[in-house]
Structure 1
Amino acid sequence: MASSGDTTVAGKSSDVYDPPSKPLLSTYIDEFHHHHHTPPPSESDPSSSSHYPANITYNYHSPRPIKDIPFLLFFLLLVLSAFAFGIFASINKNPNPPSSASAFVYDISSDSCVKGRRSSIFGERVLFLNLLGSNSHYILKNLIWTLVVTLILSIPISLFVLFSLKHFAKQLVYISLPFFVIVPIFLNLYWFVACTISSTCSEKFPLGYRIIVLVFVLLVIGVIVWILVVNWSRVELTVRIIRVASDALSNNLGLFVVLPGLILGLLVYYAPIVVFMVFARLNGEMVPRENHGIVFCEWKQDSWVPAYYALAILTMLWSAAAMVEAQAYVISGTIAQWYFLKEDSKVKRSIRSSLRNAFGPSFGTVCFSGLLISVVRMVRAAVDSAANEDASGMVNLILRCCVNALLSAFDFLNKFTINFAAITGEAYCASAKLTYELLRRNLLSAVVVETVSTRLLAGITFVLSAIYAIVVCVILKYGSDLGADSYIVAAMAFVVVLIVLGLLVHVLENVIDTVYICYAIDRDKGEVCKPDVHEIYVHLPISRNHHNLNARTSPLLV
């Protein structure tokens, strides 16, 4: 048996899940306290007290304890109510739809509306089809085929982008960066020339104003170039972070099957609710109404239908937000298992276990997180709407500032909460608190993960989608008779590719956040499960509150 004085080299321990005898930062911190005569963190910082977990790591226990049960029950009650009232609406619907009001006449003897003549709905449909025309049918056919081919090609395109980011992230980023400047310059010059040539535009917009706008846009582009030059070192770091995230995602390609499957499942779940809302619209009756001495029949909807619409819409919004959080949970759980994997072992059923936890013991946490995000988005939308209405007054300004401050505080606390919950299985509030303390203990911050990575990835997806749209437009222009309509079809193809690649960017963002939390857990335990990750993430900006201490304790982090 080894003596108590023996130490274990970080990352080489036989069991990476047991805390080492001395963390990596302890040597630097003890030296700092020895020279400056300050008590160690465990004595001076309440965040280091014993009520915080001493060994945070991925919770492999199955089954995990059920968390946030009240929110789970509340969500299930809401869903069951939406389906129950929807079934009632389907059974209780009126066979005569509101559009058939013209077929009813007022019967004086019975003081009610009775059906008098047949509706001309069928004739209206035939007239609509005739007005559609053969040309529109040809455009629709080409549009459908283009979108189908685009959806099929989006899979290899996404895989190509992923593996390009893994092996050639630097080249791909540097090739895309010039387009961030070239595209707005081209659009600016194109607009200026087109408006100068057009007599109508030149009359409404004099040359002096056009020059002012042209110079202003060029100055904005110059500011963008200056920002890129000043932050060039951060771009280099961002490229390395993107490469690590792409490597982690490429080792868990099963997520490309599971995540679209969750979206498809959400659409299947939405289908009966949408049908119920349509049937709810048919709940009512034809009632007589008098206007200027003339009695006619009109549709009167049942009073409970608007309430059901509100219930169904709230259920759909909460479900969509919960599904987004469930996806983040599955991504985080899967990537965390890959991160903490021992060198001599393999990940087994990591995605399956993450799915089981997300829709099992932690489903209440997922629902709670989705509810908070939905509320925050609705409040933010209301605040933005109020600001657009030009609401003046000091009170309104103060209220908007307070609300924005609260929303920013929520974003700060919610940044890594669902990632931490997926790793540890803790409840939402406990995860938010423990995440903040974990980052604070290790001199990290919840807001320093590179936002540049998101912007670069968004720019890359925009450039690739634009290239694909140009290729589609050229093929349709010379391979079909669409003419100018080929631009519309190409624009739709651009939107589809942009959405698909946007989903890839969303997944990579969650991977980056998860790896950051795993890196913080490694630092907290004094271990190095992924040395290549530590070599990159160690250069991220540190928390401002601990900048001086960090600069004196660990030169590697400066």
Structure 2
Amino acid sequence: MADPSSSSSSSPTQPLLLSNPYPSQIPSTSDPEEEEEEPTQITYNYNTRPIKDLPFLILFSLFILSTFAFGIFASIHHNPNSSHISSFSYDLNTSSCIKPTSITLLNNFPPTKSNPFEVLFWTLVITLVFSVPCAAFLLTLLKHYTKQIVYASLPFFVIVPISLNIYWFVACTVTSSCTQSFPLVYRILVFLFVFLVIAVIVWIFVVNWHRIELTVSIIGVSANALSDNLGLLGVLPALTLGLFVYFVPIVVFLVFARLNGKIVPREKDGEYYCAWKQDGWVPAYYVLAILTMLWSAATMVEAQAYVISGTIAQWYFSKDESSLKRSLRSSLRNAFGPSFGTICFSGLLIFVVRLVRASVDNAKQDLPGIFNLILRCCVNAFMAAFDFLNKFAINFAAITGEAYCTSSRMTYELLSRNLLSAVFVETVSTRILGGISFVFAAIYGIVVCVILRGVIGIGVDSYFIAVMACLLQLVVLGFIVHVLDNVIETVYVCYAIDRDTGDVCKQEVHDVYVNLPISRNHRSHIARTTLV
């Protein structure tokens, strides 16, 4: 294998270094006047990493400390009389509201028991327990029988929604209560609309049929990588659970913050009454706490992506299988250590972008046509620019330990040098994985419905319980799909690093990812350079 350092020169506009093992994709033109210093060789950084993006780590810490500090203050200084305003009366002598000598509390909450809700509870518990082996079984199938499971699931993408559509239409037609509440015309419209959606799904698969084989191979590679790092499937849910535990005191603080205020007299039509006056700082605290929660949620999502990327990258570049045992622990240490500021920065950007998108979607409804169009164009341009710079940034930061902005720039330059798109990974794989999850969850929901109606004897409520069980199963399987998507993106970046250095760390990955289409933008640039 040629040494990449032996290359005499390279430039950011060059697709590959001269030692790249893919000479057929390297243009033969080179202008000596445009030659620049050879880019730094990129690989996984196993060394001790310095702290990056420290200002955003400090800002995030200030948000958390402020939220908890004011929350503790709100909890201690809340007014216990806030829920007894109706028991206070206005006193003419003191011109204030007087607390009565005794307060009678009526506890008119008789216990209720509902059999369907009990069945729903235990069904969801069983579903949650059963979802673990179900997810493991799906991952095993994707690893060893990728092609078979994909091609076997494709017909169900159409059969399942068609069957459900016909079933609900017939069931509603033969049920008198449904017929009365849902007229025939509306039933037919919904029936035809669902078939239209199914037709669109079929059209999407027909158009992308030539990419199915490549998709199968990519899913197989990602499933194999995840199977070798099963610890991720335990750590990532634990991080999510930790986020909810972290949210609990903030929610409690918000409840107590609402109770900070006093009961004051008000005048209406010459008569005085007692009313609750909330302290002026409470709305500001609500804004602070909600922003902290949203930023924390976005940061946790980015932290999970960082942990996945760091672990899979070590699997990709590792020459020694024994070092893989420490890869997950190393990724966690880097994520919540020197790179936590980078993760906070990435989470803040994701949060701001989603906030802008939501604000614009709400504002578009109140704007006239031309302003609506201008706003939509500006927002789309902003989103496209953000996706262009943000894509793979957190993956690259997990590999190298660089700051967020540096990772964004270096990722784009890396992919540009190697004719790889900064916004393209095989997106069909995501849709197929989502479809497989839907098929598994739908089949599970049908089985639950049959058991509830045939064995337990529950009537119409069985449909609702089955739908809830199906949704819970879909959430768990969707988590597996989310992890596999991050694995695919990480392997894509690692593959680009291999191309850049002329190395082959995982031959089975190169055999698959080499079939990905090269970037059209860079190919057009090379064509123009060749003509000149």
Deviation at 1:356, TM superposition (A): 0.7
In structure 2, give the amino acid aligned to 1:153.
F
Q: Does the C-alpha gap of structure 1 residues 346 and 264 become closer, same or farther in structure 2, counting only changes over 3 Å?
A: same
Cα deviation digits, residues 403-428 of structure 1 (max 9, x gap): 12111210121110000000000000
Q: 2:459 aligns with which of 463, 473, 483?
A: 483
Q: Does the C-alpha gap of structure 1 residues 430 and 7 become closer, same or farther in structure 2, counting only changes over 3 Å?
A: closer
Cα deviation digits, residues 93-142 of structure 1 (max 9, x gap): 11213x31111111222211122275555423x2xx35xx33x2x22322
Contact 2:17–2:501 (Cα < 8 Å) also in 1: no
User: How does 1:151-550 map onto structure 2 within 5 Å?
Assistant: 151-190=128-167, 205=185, 210=188, 218=195, 221-342=198-319, 346-387=323-364, 389=365, 391-547=367-523
The residue number in structure 2 matching 1:105 is: 89
The residue number in structure 1 matching 2:34 is: 44
CA distance in 2, matches of 1:145, 1:82: 37
Deviation at 1:288, TM superposition (A): 1.2
Q: Which residues of structure 2 form unaligned runs of 5+?
A: 5-15, 528-532
Cα deviation digits, residues 478-504 of structure 1 (max 9, x gap): 333532222222222112111111111
In structure 2, give the amino acid aligned to 1:57.
T
Deviation at 1:522, TM superposition (A): 0.2
The residue number in structure 1 matching 2:7 is: none
In structure 2, give the amino acid aligned to 1:308.
Y
CA distance in 2, matches of 1:495, 1:501: 10
CA distance in 2, matches of 1:383, 1:119: 49
2:58 corresponds to 1:73: yes
The residue number in structure 2 matching 1:15 is: none
Contact 1:162–1:250 (Cα < 8 Å) also in 2: yes
Contact 1:336–1:423 (Cα < 8 Å) also in 2: yes
- Aligned to 2:218, the other structure's residue is in SS state helix
- Aligned to 1:252, the other structure's residue is in SS state coil
Query: Which range moves more in the overlay, 337-346 or 251-260?
Result: 337-346
Contact 1:448–1:541 (Cα < 8 Å) also in 2: no
CA distance in 2, matches of 1:417, 1:316: 23
In structure 2, give the amino acid aligned to 1:106.
Y
CA distance in 2, matches of 1:394, 1:447: 30
CA distance in 1, matches of 2:101, 2:122: 42
CA distance in 2, matches of 1:401, 1:29: 35
Deviation at 1:22, TM superposition (A): 5.5
Cα deviation digits, residues 300-333 of structure 1 (max 9, x gap): 1111101000000000000000000000000000
- Aligned to 1:303, the other structure's residue is in SS state coil
Q: Number of paired residues?
A: 514
CA distance in 2, matches of 1:336, 1:526: 17
In structure 1, give the amino acid aligned to 2:399.
I
Deviation at 1:271, TM superposition (A): 1.1
Deviation at 1:150, TM superposition (A): 1.4
Query: Which range moves more in the overlay, 218-227 or 297-306?
Result: 218-227
Per the normalisation by structure 1, the TM-score is 0.86
Per the normalisation by structure 2, the TM-score is 0.90
The residue number in structure 1 matching 2:13 is: none
Q: 1:24 aligns with which of 10, 20, 25?
A: 20
CA distance in 2, matches of 1:117, 1:95: 15
- Aligned to 1:109, the other structure's residue is in SS state coil
2:58 corresponds to 1:58: no
Q: Does the C-alpha gap of structure 1 residues 486 and 27 become closer, same or farther in structure 2, counting only changes over 3 Å?
A: closer
Query: Which range moves more in the overlay, 435-444 or 460-469?
Result: 460-469
In structure 2, give the amino acid aligned to 1:484.
V
Deviation at 1:346, TM superposition (A): 3.8
The residue number in structure 1 matching 2:530 is: none
Contact 1:196–1:202 (Cα < 8 Å) also in 2: no
Contact 2:63–2:292 (Cα < 8 Å) also in 1: yes
Q: 1:123 aligns with which of 89, 102, 107?
A: 107
